[in-house]
């Protein structure tokens, strides 16, 4: 027979309590990118809106960046590390298969023995992490969840590919989720489109190197076998990101039961300024909505881009605590996640 089990008891709702970010020290201007590709500063700016990005130094590992952002988020939330009972880290650029980087972060934060695991959802990773974290808080498996997006995409950048060399940056962004008496995180509209897996992807899988079969691997201008990198079909990505994701963003507003007029802030994944501008136009967002344009000085940092932009908007006064924000991430998979949140 099935024994009668006690139900889980979670919080009535979840909210973002605090946010923190880490940007690597080294700022890389377009000029440096241009040493390896035949292009121009004007071309890069007009196609992407990117002027500078941060690239991590040797000591700025995925773990170190995640740790720095997490410490800030925990302090901003007004809790202690011991109160964190789940750590969810989204990354595609932590090159150690196992153990997860989340367990290292949990340990080094001094969080005791929280549940800790990594997730892989590329540029939608932050939204996926938020959704998982919110579920834990509301279901009762955790009271405070640390959700981090962290990337060292400079390691996955083909410096000689003129269509992507300028796009990517490094950094980490973190938030702490906790209990709330009122709804402060709307339903997530998310999904995947695996039929479009080839649209954004790593050039070759890691095990191709182990197999010793290097004959067909891509080589650089010096004849050296290239480390795997991210490649994408630009026009296809642009079309999907702008027009399909605008529909997803609208569905997230509808799911939260609000109209664009009630929105204060829009924080899309910082993929490309042209995507952001076109999405704002397609969505028909009112002029009062503050739009994140952190990409200009940060580049595309995948899972880290939304929390980094969120922190910067709060810091610079473009957004304030209590504002209603629409966040949407989208990327390799293809995957996407959009939700409306109250800013911490």
Partner 1 sequence: MAVSREEILEGLAEIVNEIAGIPNDEVTEEKSFTDDLDVDSLSMVEVVVAAEERFGVKIPDDDVKGLKTVGDAVGYITDHQS
Q: Would you count residue 32 as binding partner 1 (CB under 8 A)?
A: no
Tokens at 254, concatenated? 């509808």
Q: Which of 54, 94, 144, 300 is catalytic?
A: 300
User: What does DSSP say about strands 52-55 and 26-29: parallel, antiparallel, or unpaired?
Assistant: antiparallel
Output the smallest distance, CB 208 to partner 1, in A.
28
Tokens 């410490």 sit on residue: 71
Q: Which of 30, 54, 269, 272 is catalytic?
A: 269
**Does 224 qualify as catalytic in the annotation?**
no
Site residues for partner 1, 138-157, by CB under 8 A, read none
Other residues' Cβ atoms within 10 Å of the Cβ of residue 268:
27
Nearest to 232 by CA among 202, 275, 205: 202
Q: Which of 30, 123, 144, 272 is catalytic?
A: 123
How far is residue 89's CA from residue 220's CA, in Å, rounded to a whole number? Answer: 32
Q: Would you count residue 264 as binding partner 1 (CB under 8 A)?
A: no
Tokens at 60, concatenated? 């700025």
Q: Would you count residue 107 as binding partner 1 (CB under 8 A)?
A: no
Q: In terms of CB distance, is 71 or 234 closer to partner 1?
A: 234
Q: Would you count residue 162 as binding partner 1 (CB under 8 A)?
A: no
Output the smallest distance, CB 244 to partner 1, in A.
10
Number of residues that bind partner 1 (CB under 8 A): 12
Tokens at 249, concatenated? 């963003």
Q: Would you count residue 238 as binding partner 1 (CB under 8 A)?
A: yes
126-163: burial string, b at 16+ Cβ within 10 Å, e else = bbbbbbbbbbbbbeeebbbbbbbbbbbbbbbbbbbbee
Tokens at 96, concatenated? 């150690």
Output the smallest distance, CB 259 to partner 1, in A.
23
**Does 123 qualify as catalytic in the annotation?**
yes
Spatial CB neighbours of 271, under 8 Å, sequence gap ≥ 6: 123, 237, 241, 295, 300, 305, 330, 331
Output the smallest distance, CB 337 to partner 1, in A.
23
Return the H-helix or E-strand segment holding 230: strand 230-232
- The single residue among 179, 234, 296, 297 that binds partner 1, judged by CB under 8 A, is 234
Output the smallest distance, CB 295 to partner 1, in A.
14
**Does 30 qualify as catalytic in the annotation?**
no
Q: In terms of CB distance, is 117 or 238 closer to partner 1?
A: 238
Q: Would you count residue 236 as binding partner 1 (CB under 8 A)?
A: yes
Query: ∠44-50-52 over CA atoms, to 5°?
Result: 110
Q: Would you count residue 239 as binding partner 1 (CB under 8 A)?
A: yes
- The single residue among 99, 220, 243, 257 that binds partner 1, judged by CB under 8 A, is 243
- The single residue among 36, 107, 162, 274 that binds partner 1, judged by CB under 8 A, is 274
Q: Would you count residue 242 as binding partner 1 (CB under 8 A)?
A: yes
x/- track of binding to partner 1 for residues 36-65 (CB under 8 A): ----------xx------------------
DSSP string across 300-342: B-GGGHHHHHHHHHHHHTSS-TT-EEEEEEEETTTEEEEEEEE
Kindly list the catalytic residues: 123, 269, 300
Residues that bind partner 1 (CB under 8 A): 46-47, 233-236, 238-239, 242-243, 274, 278
């Amino acid at each position: 027979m099935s024994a009668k089990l006690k139900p889980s008891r979670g919080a009535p709702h979840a909210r973002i309590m605090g946010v923190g970010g880490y940007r690597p020290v080294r700022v890389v201007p377009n000029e440096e990118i241009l040493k390896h590709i035949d292009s121009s500063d004007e071309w890069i700016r007009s196609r992407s809106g990117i002027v500078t990005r941060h690239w991590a130094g040797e000591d700025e590992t995925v773990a170190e960046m995640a740790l720095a952002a997490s410490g800030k988020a925990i302090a901003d939330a007004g809790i202690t590390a011991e109160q964190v009972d789940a750590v969810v880290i989204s990354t595609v650029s932590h090159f150690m298969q196992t153990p997860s980087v989340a367990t290292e972060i949990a340990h080094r934060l001094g969080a005791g023995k929280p549940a800790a695991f990594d997730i892989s959802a590329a540029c939608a990773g932050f939204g996926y992490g938020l959704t998982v974290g919110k579920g834990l808080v509301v279901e009762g498996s955790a009271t405070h969840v640390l959700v981090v997006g962290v990337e060292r995409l400079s390691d996955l950048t083909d410096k000689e590919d003129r269509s992507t060399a300028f796009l990517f940056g490094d950094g980490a962004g973190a938030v702490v989720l906790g209990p709330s008496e009122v709804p402060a995180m709307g339903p997530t509209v998310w999904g995947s489109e695996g039929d479009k897996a080839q649209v954004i992807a790593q050039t070759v899988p890691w095990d191709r190197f182990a197999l010793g079969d290097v004959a067909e691997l891509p080589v650089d201008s010096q004849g050296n076998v290239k480390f795997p990198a991210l490649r994408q079909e630009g026009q296809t990505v642009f079309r999907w990101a702008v027009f399909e994701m605008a529909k997803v963003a609208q569905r997230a507003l509808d799911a939260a039961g609000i109209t664009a007029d009630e929105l204060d802030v829009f924080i899309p994944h910082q993929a490309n300024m042209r995507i952001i501008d076109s999405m704002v136009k397609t969505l028909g967002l009112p002029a009062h909505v503050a739009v994140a344009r952190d990409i200009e000085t940060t580049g595309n940092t995948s899972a880290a881009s939304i929390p980094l932009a969120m922190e910067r908007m709060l810091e610079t006064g473009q957004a304030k605590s209590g504002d209603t924000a629409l966040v949407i991430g989208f990327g390799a998979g293809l995957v996407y996640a959009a939700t409306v949140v109250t800013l911490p």
